[in-house]
Amino acid sequence: MITIDGLTKRYGGFTAVDHVSFTAPAGRVTGFLGPNGAGKSTTMRILVGLTPASSGSAHVLGRRYGDLPNPGREVGVLLDASAQHGGRTGREILTIAQRTLGLPAARVDEMLDLVSLTPQEAGRRVRHYSLGMRQRLGIAVALIGDPAGLILDEPANGLDPAGIRWMRDLLRGHAERGGTVLLSSHLLHEIEVIADDLVVIGNGRIVASGTKAELLTTAGTLVRTREVAVLSRALAESGVATAPMDGGLRAEADAELVGRVALAAGVPLLELRAAEGAGLEEMFLELTADTQRDHSPTQIGAVA
Amino acid sequence: MTTIASTPADTGTPPASSPARVRATDVAPIPFARIVSVELRKMFDTRSGFWLMGSIGILSLLATAAVIAFGAKDDLSYGAFAAAIGFPTAVLLPIVALLSVTSEWSQRTGLTTFTLVAHRGRVITAKAVCAIGVGVVSMVVAAGIGALGNLVGSTIAGVDTVWDVTVAHLALFILAHVLGMMIGFMLGVLLRSSAAAIVGYFVYSFVLTGLTELLAFHQQWFAEIRGWVDFNYAQGALFEGSVTAGQWAELGVSGLFWLVIPLAVGVGLVLRSEVK
């Protein structure tokens, strides 16, 4: 379990992390979602003791990270897959971790096998690695100590869709065996594939958190009709808020209520269903809209 | 959108088999010797690290060969070989020590190093132990190459082999190099940037010595107190082979200002700073 309580980090007058509190429970994959510069990485660095906090506390498995006698055996950490000496081979980087943690040498090959790096690739120097290969190597370093907790910053960056699916299965399996997984991403689609719970951060503050199911429920109902104006007026009269989406409406009510309103208004429907991911995406954009760096179409496109 | 989260009720059941076979209670702390062995490995496991160390050996051989080839027959002595070998090693060893520290920041490997070993002081101490160890071993190897050169050189030249360096002198010689190495180490810890530390090291050992030399030449008052304030100059006594009590005191006082205090400040910064 990872517990963050009232964590704050100030750089001069700038507050990078502002009273952040959340818990990543054991047995679940917790996704830490937010746009670039929202404070995800700073929070994670504080969590593992690389950055001192201004106030608040962070505990991993019930202890401060610095109090863990051999941290790598209890918490696997991947903060930046590119933060490696380019002149070392992948195998050498794993060997350094294996030796530091005091593990049997065979563990290096087991890990290479687990993350699907071939012996040839493992013998190459990391400066020649693609980002996807670096991520796999970083995951291998994080997992080598067979830790109960995993803290991964943007681990899916640079992975292809098959790689993201592989990572999902790996992290899901870890959580199912009782492990704690905290991973961050600035890409909603990436994280909603992998995570059970979501913590959304914007401008250093937690703006939403809960299980993915909870956040989906609050995302409302998608309804499509050729008579959008009529339906939206009818819904408004029934006190249901709506927002235009994908040639239809997203209504903040369950499907049954929307259906009844449409029936009463005599509006034929083309589609009526829970808004699911699409709603969550809109929620993410909404929640972070006033904390985005900019509102240009390219930025929104990148998040979507 | 392919999966829906399981309900919170699922989390209530304890896991049948935990991935954490190792629990917090039975994890032993990392022994210091293991950190030292890993840090030692990290000094050699990159191509640049390997060749930096290799070049010390190669330059020692070249310097020995040069003394044999170009040295005057009358001057062939162990002292001549030791001096010739001492120069390249004295220049390169501090850079080895300095890079072992700065690469954690410049190459950003510190992100991994300081999460695997959460106590940065232990890592820095292990690096210092490695630096001193590598310094001593390199100097002993260089001294061996020099001895071999002295034997071969005098045989080729047909003159008597001259052993004009005592073991005590050799020990002082090694101490001087270790102190030089610690200066490099100190600059690495203080500046935490490879480029800045290397520039700082060359300024300290080449530019600064020239300036203090000039100052001592023109200013009588500086010449009188020089041993107490100029660490480079104070180390000169170590190369002479005999050190008086006064010279030891000068070495200690100047070393306090040039080595101990900046190193303490640097370590303090390393412990508090943010690793990014």
Put simply, the answer to whether B17 touches A177 (Cβ < 8 Å) is: yes
Among A50, A69, A177, whose Cβ lies nearest the Cβ of B111? A50
E strand or H helix at B9: none
User: What value does the mean pLDDT take over residues B39-49?
Assistant: 90
Residues of A in contact with B11 (CB under 8 A): 25-28
In the predicted model, is pLDDT for residue B78 greater than 90?
no
pLDDT tens, residue by residue, B203-234: 998 899 889 989 999 989 998 898 899 998 89
Residues of A in contact with B276 (CB under 8 A): 45, 50-51
pLDDT band per the 50, 70, 90 thresholds, residue B90: confident
Put simply, the answer to whether B118 touches A65 (Cβ < 8 Å) is: yes
Put simply, the answer to whether B19 touches A177 (Cβ < 8 Å) is: yes
Strands A29-33 and A197-202, by their bridges, are: parallel
Q: Which residue of B has its CA nearest to A51?
A: B274
pLDDT tens, residue by residue, B154-176: 888 888 888 888 888 889 988 99
pLDDT tens, residue by residue, A141-153: 999 999 999 999 9
Among B27, B35, B112, whose Cβ lies nearest the Cβ of A74? B27
> Which is higher by pLDDT, A64 or A278?
A64
User: What pLDDT was estimated at residue B22?
Assistant: 43
Residues of B in contact with A196 (CB under 8 A): 5-6
pLDDT tens, residue by residue, A227-236: 888 999 999 9
Q: Which of A41, A96, A168 to mutate to test the interface with B (most CBs of B within 10 A)?
A: A96
User: What pLDDT was estimated at residue A183?
Assistant: 95
Average pLDDT, chain B: 86
pLDDT band per the 50, 70, 90 thresholds, residue B274: very high
Q: Closest Cα partner for B122 from A40, A69, A190?
A: A69
Residues of B in contact with A97 (CB under 8 A): 112, 116
Structure-token match 């270790």, residue found: B178
Phi (first) and psi of residue A128, to 5 degrees: -95, 0
Residues of B in contact with A178 (CB under 8 A): 14-20
User: What pLDDT was estimated at residue A293?
Assistant: 54
Query: Which of A2-11, A181-190, A262-271, B79-88 shows the lowest mean pLDDT across its residues?
Result: B79-88
Most confidently modeled range among A241-255, B114-128, B135-149 = B114-128
pLDDT band per the 50, 70, 90 thresholds, residue A5: very high
Q: Closest Cα partner for A63 from A1, A152, A142, A141?
A: A1
Put simply, the answer to whether A72 touches B116 (Cβ < 8 Å) is: yes
User: What pLDDT was estimated at residue B21?
Assistant: 45
Bridge partners of residue B11, in order along the sequence: none
Q: DSSP code of B117? A: S
* Predicted TM-score (pTM) of this structure: 0.83
In the predicted model, is pLDDT for residue A256 greater than 80?
yes
Q: Which residue of B has its CA nearest to A80?
A: B111
Distance from C-alpha of A64 to C-alpha of A67, rounded to nearest angstrom: 5
Among A85, A193, A211, whose Cβ lies nearest the Cβ of B103? A85
Put simply, the answer to whether A88 touches B45 (Cβ < 8 Å) is: yes
Q: Closest Cα partner for A7 from A41, A59, A65, A55?
A: A55
User: What pLDDT was estimated at residue A298?
Assistant: 42
User: What pLDDT was estimated at residue B12?
Assistant: 36
Distance from C-alpha of A109 to C-alpha of A104, rounded to nearest angstrom: 10
Q: Which residue of B has its CA nearest to A127?
A: B107
Bridge partners of residue A242, in order along the sequence: A251
Distance from C-alpha of A61 to C-alpha of A24, rounded to nearest angstrom: 10
Structure-token match 């401008």, residue found: A203
Put simply, the answer to whether B19 touches A148 (Cβ < 8 Å) is: yes
Distances (CA, A) of B195 to A2, B127, B187, B206: 38, 19, 11, 16
DSSP labels for chain A?
Answer: -EEEEEEEEEETTEEEEEEEEEEE-TTSEEEEE--TTSSHHHHHHHHTTSS--SEEEEEETTB-GGG-SSHHHHEEEES-TT-S-TTSBHHHHHHHHHHHHT--THHHHHHHHHTT--HHHHTSBGGG--HHHHHHHHHHHHHTT--SEEEEESTTTT--HHHHHHHHHHHHHHHHTT-EEEEEES-HHHHHHH-SEEEEEETTEEEEEEEHHHHHHTT-EEEEES-HHHHHHHHHHTT--EEEETTEEEESS-HHHHHHHHHHHTPPEEEEEE-HHHHHHHHHHHHHHTTSS---HHHHHHH-
For residues A295, A81, A24 and A199, what is the CA-based torsion angle, rounded to 10 degrees?
10
